[in-house]
Amino acid sequence: MMLFTEVRGLPVVPSGPAGAGPLGTVVSLTVDIASGTVSHVRFRGGRLRRETALAWDAVDTIGPSAVRVRSTASAEPAVPHHGLLGHRVLTEAGSAHGTVLDAAFDTSTGRVLAVFTTRGEVAPERLLGIGDHALVVRAA
């Protein structure tokens, strides 16, 4: 298990031979709310320091010192997304449930284990959707 805030800022490196330089630095993780999993690792790197999204399937391992990737073949220019961190949280009825501070996920599967808000923990089964305005969750 790791927290989103622990992954942010880690170098993204190829899994291949030692000595290969980093591809960039993790900016954020994209979550597919429907499946409750991390769908992409977003990183900034290269000569132009552009943000790139890499599908979760390309991730080999995530550890405390780096995100190792098998291939960058699935890398694509990052399209706008809604990150969890810092998002306002609303219940389906529109009641405020704080702001997202962090999220825990399984580094092997990418499955979101919990979302931590200023008003407590939200189980992943309660996640309904995310948009420009807020993360929407089922009422407890």
Shared-domain flag, residues 68 and 24: yes
pLDDT of residue 116: 98
User: Which range marks the domain in which residue 126 is found?
Assistant: 88-137
pLDDT of residue 80: 73
Q: 83 in a domain, yes or no?
A: no
User: Per this entry, what is the length of the chain?
Assistant: 140
Shared-domain flag, residues 6 and 72: yes
Q: 10 in a domain, yes or no?
A: yes
Q: How far apart are CA 32 and CA 60, in angstroms?
A: 19
Shared-domain flag, residues 70 and 93: no
Q: 82 in a domain, yes or no?
A: no
User: Across the chain, which distance is largest between two alpha carbons, in Å?
Assistant: 52
Q: How far apart are CA 133 and CA 57, in angstroms?
A: 29
pLDDT of residue 48: 62
Q: How many domains is the chain built from?
A: 2
Kindly report the backbone phi and psi dihedral angles of residue 135, in degrees, each rounded to the nearest multiple of 5, phi listed first. Answer: -90, 125
Segment 9-67, tens digit of pLDDT: 999 999 876 656 788 999 999 999 999 999 999 999 866 678 899 999 999 999 999 99
Shared-domain flag, residues 59 and 25: yes
List the one residue out of 70, 42, 44 whose CA is nearest residue 58. Answer: 70
- The residue whose two tokens read 């969750």 is 137
Shared-domain flag, residues 93 and 71: no
CATH number at residue 69: 2.30.30.240
Give start and end residues of each alpha helix (H) in the chain: 4-7
